[in-house]
């Protein structure tokens, strides 16, 4: 008997898919179990094959949304979520604004230090983030006195996100034909008009990626947030999540439910921005 | 409408000189074509007029105003780009009206003007479309519309037809010429296509390596090229250029494959090169088969090896390689003949004979490559003196060979 074409490939790929989905299924199971345990089945002293399978099957004994309700009623999760929204949104706005203005300058203007500037941005990306923990803490908390505040964290996040965003945006600006801008110059447009009315609308795909990156960086970030936000009321969602399972508590149900809620905005944002991620927005402007 | 004048204009990028000491006056309402090979500085010249490139030295006058330091928007020019350069995120209507919107014209007036311009360009039905939904020709028309709508003093065209296919190019060429006749706006048109230059320009400026080689009417450039560059650049196929030996006090010109008497209008000039060489130019349309050209009074024949025949329908272009062991052998000569007389492919590599009109030759200094001065002789008389029976002799010789 001949096996279907690509049978082996499909088996391999399906196995990898299951491997990826399995932990996520566990998170869902725990979140919707209504309990705080990390395991569902009690394995008897002399387990049968079915008992063993039950133990690794991510399916709760009962389905309940109690963990989600408790998160918002019993725990300060809503406040943490709000903190995350404020920090991530502000980081995105500040990061994208600064990144696209500077990237435009790097792409279009020739000035002393242009190459060095771009190189510095690149070099800054080569060091692991944890290396900057102490200097950042000293600068933000000791010198600027912005510890435990939204602005301090926003500043730190924006600073770390901007180099990547500048490279990203510059790369895209470079692909926008210069003639389009020259044409606008001939039409009498000022530099500001050209930037806002011509270049930025054309750079929507890059803006979408940059915004998504900035948002995700700050939304998911844990280490810096746990360092700067000392007060429990100022925790961001990832720091709050750690609170459920750190130290002496092991509220895995809250942790799983919180993790799902935290990941939702990123998924939704990605789906929303997907339409801007299409390439070829400049098609039709110049002969391709 | 404004005139444009270049006074000793130069453009340098650090050490690289792109334009050197350019002097040219473009009168009001003229259609001037800047033509030349890639990198000759024609686009840079246009961009200097537009204000998109700075001027290193000299003065650029637009009308009576020195425009060197004027911002592009204050020069009252409109430019059409090779790549169309439409705003891809705007509709045709917004594209054409953008310049007016920048000038804060009321929306109702913008709409009216856009529709007025769109009508003759055949864009009325496409106003709500985005550029990506248009064909190449339509996009170029939008680019034209965007330039026209502002009613500028000068139009600048930067190779606007290069991206179009051959048929569309002919059509758009006619449309741009028609537009110029209607609006009579001073226009400067950059192209590397000498057919566009010949058919559209009131005047043509041929540029090479940042210098103007010749500036004049198309026929002036065709009939009296000032140097070998212009001679080779204007006309398709290009003029045949070959070195010939001067002897007999300038009265005889000798090449590997022919020997002719110097037409008397050139003699004064060739006499100075006696014993040396000059460059002889002859257009392919002045080389052919003798029986096709009854009006060639003083024909001379060229022998060569038939290398290639290009049949174009209305004419055939014959490529000959001059042979023999004298200087000039190996020169390639192109001739235009009627397709019905075109040699068959079986004759490739064989010896072939064509004739040229000695009255139509051009002579150039081999050192400077400039055209030699001609005296104002009546060429008809001089040729009769030179060789009154040459044609008859030649016909007889052909008949005796059984051709």
Query: In this structure, what token pair is assigned to residue B317?
Result: 């272009």
3-state class (DSSP) for residue A278: coil
Regarding beta strands B332-337 and B316-321, do their DSSP bridges make them parallel or antiparallel, or are they unpaired? antiparallel
Tokens 């257009």 sit on residue: B283
A42 is a domain residue: no
Residue A152 has pLDDT above 60, yes or no: yes
State whether B27 and B48 are in the same domain.
yes
Same domain, B137 and B278: no
Of B72, B84, B130, the CB nearest to A185: B72
Which structural domain range is residue B92 located in? 4-232
Write the CB contacts of B390 (distance below 8 Å, at least 6 apart in sequence).
B297, B298, B299, B300
Whether the CB-CB separation of B383 and B297 falls below 8 Å is answered with yes
Q: List, for residues B284-340, the tens digit of each pLDDT value.
A: 999 988 888 888 877 888 888 899 999 888 889 999 998 766 767 788 999 999 888
Mean of the pLDDT values across residues B370-383? 66
Beta carbons within 8 Å of B403's beta carbon, 6+ residues apart: none
Q: Which two tokens stand for residue B156?
A: 């600048």
Query: d(Cα B221, Cα B206) in Å, to the nearest integer?
Result: 9
Q: Domain count of chain A?
A: 1
Two structure tokens written together for B388: 């009154």
| For chain B, percent of residues with pLDDT exceeding 70 | 92
pLDDT of residue A21: 94
Residue A94 lies in a domain: yes
Residues 6 or more apart in contact with residue B373 via CB below 8 angstroms = B268, B269
* Domain shared by B11 and B53, yes or no: yes
As separate numbers, helices (DSSP H) first and strands (DSSP E) second, chain A gives 14, 0
| CATH number of residue B178's parent domain | 3.40.50.300
| Rounded CA separation B358/B258 (Å) | 11
Q: Which residues of chain A are within 8 Å of residue B87 when distances are taken between CB atoms?
A: 180, 183-184, 198, 285
Residue B245's DSSP bridge partners are B254, B277
B114: nearest Cα among A186, B123, B76, A194: B123
pLDDT at A190: 92
* Beta-carbon count within 10 A of A24 CB: 13
From the CA of A198, how many Å to the nearest CA of chain B?
7
Q: Which residue has the higher pLDDT, B402 or B101?
A: B101
CA B229/CA B208 separation, integer angstroms: 8
* A273 reaches B (C-beta below 8 A): no
Query: In angstroms, rounded to a whole number, what is the distance separating the alpha carbons of residues B67 and B78?
Result: 15
User: Which chain B residues touch A183 with a CB distance below 8 Å?
Assistant: 79, 81, 85-87, 146
Interface test mutation site (partner A, options B84, B140, B141, max chain A beta carbons within 10 A): B84
Res. A209 pLDDT band, cuts 50 70 90 = confident
> CB-based contact (8 Å) between B163 and chain A?
yes
CA distance B319 to B354: 11
Between CA A221 and CA A229 the distance in angstroms is 12
Distance of alpha carbon B183 from alpha carbon B78, whole angstroms: 14
Token representation of residue A157:
């996040």
Name the average pLDDT for chain A.
87
Q: Order of strands, edge to edge, in the sheet holding B31-35?
A: B77-80, B154-158, B186-191, B31-35, B203-208, B211-216
Question: Who among A180, A201, A283 is closest to B85 (CB)?
Answer: A180
Tell whether A193 lies on the interface with B, counting CB pairs under 8 A: yes
Please give the pLDDT value at position B350: 84
Alpha-carbon distance of B317 to B248, in angstroms, equals 34
Q: Where are the beta strands (DSSP E) in B14-129?
A: 16-26, 31-35, 57-62, 65-66, 77-80
Read off the pLDDT of each residue in A50-71 and give the average, rounded to a whole number.
83
Least confident of A44-48, A184-188, A231-235: A44-48
Classify residue A186: in a domain, yes or no: yes
SS3 (DSSP) at B297: coil
Q: For chain B, how many residues are written?
A: 403
Question: Could you tell me if residue A194 is inside a domain?
Answer: yes
pLDDT in tens, B127-185: 999 999 998 889 999 999 999 999 999 999 999 988 888 888 888 899 899 989 988 99
Q: Does A202 touch chain B (CB under 8 A)?
A: yes
Judge whether residue A129 has pLDDT over 90: no
Tell me, yes or no, whether A232 lies in a domain.
yes
Closest partner residue to A186 (CB to CB) among B79, B131, B136 is B79
Write the CATH number for A266: 1.10.3720.10
pLDDT attached to residue B392? 41
B388: pLDDT strictly greater than 60: no
CB pairs under 8 A between A and B: 83
Using CA atoms, how far residue B121 sits from B4, B126, B151, B167, in Å, is 28, 11, 15, 17
Cα distance from A137 to chain B (closest Cα, Å)?
Answer: 44
Q: Does B393 score more than 50 pLDDT? A: no
Q: Is A282 on the interface with B (CB under 8 A)?
A: yes
Tell me the CA distances in angstroms from A7 to A2, A20, A116, A195, B336, one per residue in order.
10, 20, 52, 52, 67
In a domain, A187, yes or no: yes
Comparing alpha-carbon positions, the chain A residue that sits nearest to B129 is A284
Is the Cβ of A191 closer than 8 Å to some Cβ of chain B?
Answer: no
**Residue B336 DSSP one-character state:** E
- Count up the domains in chain B and report the number: 2
CB B197, CB B173: distance < 8 Å:
no
* φ/ψ (deg, to 5) at A93: -65, -50
Cα B188 from Cα B205, distance rounded (Å): 10
B388 against B167, higher pLDDT: B167
Residue pair B6/B23 in contact by the 8 Å Cβ criterion:
yes
* Beta-carbon separation of A188 and B146 below 8 A: no
Report CA dihedral (B213, B219, B225, B228) to the nearest 10 degrees: 80
> Are residue B244 and residue B207 in the same domain, yes or no?
no
Count of residues for chain A? 288
Q: How far apart are CA A188 and CA B146, in angstroms?
A: 12
Largest CA distance in chain B: 84
Instruction: Please say whether the beta carbons of B141 and B86 come within 8 A.
Output: no
Work out the average pLDDT over B47-67. Answer: 93
The dihedrals phi and psi of A279, each to the nearest 5 degrees, come to: -90, 175
pLDDT tens profile B245-281: 999 899 999 988 888 999 989 999 999 999 999 999 9
Give the distance from residue B64's alpha carbon to the nearest chain A alpha carbon, in angstroms: 21
- Residue-wise pLDDT for A211-248, tens only, equals 888 998 899 999 999 988 888 889 999 998 888 887 77
CA B19/CA B9 separation, integer angstroms: 7
Q: Which residues of A touch B88 (CB under 8 A)?
A: 180, 202, 281-285
Q: What gap in Å lies between CA B338 and CA B312, rounded to an integer?
A: 10
The shortest CB-CB distance from A283 to any of B87, B88, B99 is to B88
List chain A residues with CB under 8 Å of B150: 187
Question: Among B369, B30, B78, B320, which Cα is nearest to B187's?
Answer: B30
| A192 in reach of chain B (CB within 8 A) | no
Cis, bond preceding B237 (omega within 30 deg of 0): yes
Contact assessment for residue B229 and residue B339, using Cβ atoms and an 8 Å cutoff: no
User: Is B99's CB within 8 Å of A187's CB?
Assistant: yes
Q: Residue B381: pLDDT above 90?
A: no
A188 vs B contacts (CB less than 8 Å): 72-73, 99, 102-103
C-alpha B119/C-alpha B145 separation (Å) is 10
Structural domain ending residue among the three candidates B212, B232, B252:
B232
Sheet holding B351-357, edge to edge: B287-288, B351-357, B299-311, B316-321, B332-337
Distance CA B213, CA B40 (A): 11
Q: Which residue has the higher pLDDT, B292 or A21?
A: A21
Q: How many CB atoms lie within 10 A of CB A18?
A: 10
Name the pLDDT band for A287 (thresholds 50, 70, 90). very low
- Per the model's pLDDT, the better-predicted residue between B325 and B91 turns out to be B91
Quote the domain boundaries for residue A194: 79-277
pTM across the whole model: 0.79
* Mean pLDDT value across residues A26-38: 86
Domain boundary among B208, B232, B256: B232
| Domain final residue pick, B232, B261, B286 | B232
pLDDT(B244) > 80: yes
Q: CB contact, 8 Å: B368 with chain A?
A: no
Using an 8 Å Cβ cutoff, are B41 and B209 in contact?
yes
Looking at the fold, whether B173 and B273 belong to one and the same domain comes out as no
Residue B97, pLDDT > 50, answer: yes
Instruction: Report yes or no: A183 at the B interface, CB cutoff 8 Å.
Output: yes
3-state secondary structure of A187: coil
Say if the Cβ atoms of A185 and B73 lie within 8 Å. Answer: yes
Query: Residue A286 has what pLDDT?
Result: 53
Query: Do residues B369 and B258 both lie within one domain?
Result: yes
- CB nearest B102 (choices: A193, A281, A283): A193
pLDDT classification of A277: cutoffs 50, 70, 90: low
> CA B141 → CA A279, B88, B182, B193, B380, distances in Å?
26, 15, 16, 20, 49
Q: Longest Cα pair distance anywhere in chain A, in angstroms?
A: 85
- For residues B137, B143, B144, B149, the Cα torsion angle rounded to the nearest 10 degrees is 140
Do B220 and B314 sit in the same domain of this protein? no
pLDDT of residue A279: 53
Q: Which CATH number goes with the domain that contains B393?
A: 2.40.50.140
CB contact under 8 A, B87 and A285: yes
Q: Is A188 close to B132, i.e. CB distance below 8 A?
A: no
């Amino acid at each position: 008997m001949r096996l279907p074409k690509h049978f082996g490939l499909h088996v391999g790929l399906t196995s990898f898919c299951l491997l990826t989905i399995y932990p996520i299924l566990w998170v869902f199971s725990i979140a919707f179990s209504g309990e705080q345990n990390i395991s569902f089945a009690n394995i008897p002293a002399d387990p049968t094959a079915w008992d063993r399978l039950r133990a690794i099957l991510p399916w709760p004994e009962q389905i309940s949304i109690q963990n989600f309700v408790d998160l918002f009623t019993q725990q300060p999760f809503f406040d943490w979520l709000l903190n995350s929204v404020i920090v991530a949104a502000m980081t995105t706005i500040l990061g994208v604004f600064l990144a696209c203005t500077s990237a435009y300058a790097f792409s279009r203007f020739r000035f002393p230090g242009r190459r060095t500037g771009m190189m510095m941005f690149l070099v800054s990306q080569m060091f692991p983030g944890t290396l900057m923990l102490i200097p950042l803490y000293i600068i933000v908390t000791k010198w600027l006195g912005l510890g435990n505040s939204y602005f301090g964290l926003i500043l730190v996040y924006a600073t770390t996100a901007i180099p990547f965003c500048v490279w990203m945006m510059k790369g895209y600006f470079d692909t926008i034909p210069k003639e389009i801008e020259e044409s606008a110059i001939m039409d009498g447009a000022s530099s500001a008009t050209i930037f806002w009315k011509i270049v930025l609308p054309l750079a929507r795909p890059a803006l979408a990626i940059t915004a998504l990156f900035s948002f995700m960086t700050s939304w998911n970030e844990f280490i810096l947030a746990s360092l700067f936000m000392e007060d429990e009321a100022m925790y961001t969602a990832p720091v709050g999540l750690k609170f459920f399972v750190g130290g002496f508590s092991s509220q895995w149900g809250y942790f799983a439910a919180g993790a799902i809620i935290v990941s939702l905005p990123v998924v939704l944002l990605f789906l929303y921005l997907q339409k801007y991620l299409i390439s070829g927005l400049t098609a039709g402007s110049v002969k391709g | 409408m404004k005139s444009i004048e270049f006074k000793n204009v130069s453009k340098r990028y650090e050490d690289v000189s792109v334009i050197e000491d350019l002097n040219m006056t473009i009168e009001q309402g003229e259609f001037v074509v800047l033509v030349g090979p890639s990198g000759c500085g024609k686009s840079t010249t246009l961009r200097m007029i537009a204000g998109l490139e700075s001027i290193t030295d000299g003065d650029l006058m637009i009308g009576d105003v020195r425009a060197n330091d004027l911002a592009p928007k204050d020069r009252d020019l409109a430019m059409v780009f090779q790549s169309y350069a439409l705003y891809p995120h705007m509709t045709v209507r917004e594209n054409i009206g953008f310049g007016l919107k920048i000038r804060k014209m009321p929306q109702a007036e913008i709409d009216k003007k856009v529709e007025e311009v769109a009508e003759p360009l055949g864009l009325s039905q496409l106003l709500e479309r985005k550029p990506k939904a248009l064909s190449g020709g339509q996009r170029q028309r939008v680019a034209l519309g965007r330039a026209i709508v502002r009613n500028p003093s000068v139009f600048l065209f930067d190779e606007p037809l290069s991206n179009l296919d051959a048929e569309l190019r002919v059509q758009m060429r006619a449309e741009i010429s028609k537009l110029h006749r209607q609006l009579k706006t001073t226009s400067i048109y950059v192209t590397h296509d000498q057919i566009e230059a010949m058919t559209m320009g009131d005047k043509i400026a041929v540029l090479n390596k940042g210098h103007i080689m010749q500036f004049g009417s198309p026929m002036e450039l065709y009939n009296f090229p000032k140097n070998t560059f212009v001679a080779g650049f204007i006309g398709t196929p290009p003029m045949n250029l070959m070195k010939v030996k001067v002897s007999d006090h300038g009265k005889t010109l000798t090449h590997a494959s022919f020997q002719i008497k110097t037409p008397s209008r050139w003699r004064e000039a060739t006499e100075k090169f006696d014993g040396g060489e000059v460059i002889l130019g002859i257009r392919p349309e002045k080389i052919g088969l003798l029986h096709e050209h009854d009006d060639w009074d003083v024909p001379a024949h060229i022998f060569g090896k038939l290398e290639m025949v290009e049949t174009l329908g209305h004419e055939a272009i014959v490529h000959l390689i001059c042979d023999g062991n004298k200087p000039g052998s190996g020169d390639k000569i192109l001739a235009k003949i009627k397709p019905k007389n075109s040699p068959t492919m079986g004759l490739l590599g064989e010896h072939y004979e064509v004739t040229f009109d000695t009255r139509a030759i051009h002579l150039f200094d081999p050192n400077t490559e400039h055209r030699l001065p001609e005296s104002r002789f009546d060429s008809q008389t001089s040729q009769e003196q030179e060789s009154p029976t040459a044609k008859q002799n030649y016909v007889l010789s052909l008949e005796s060979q059984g051709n």
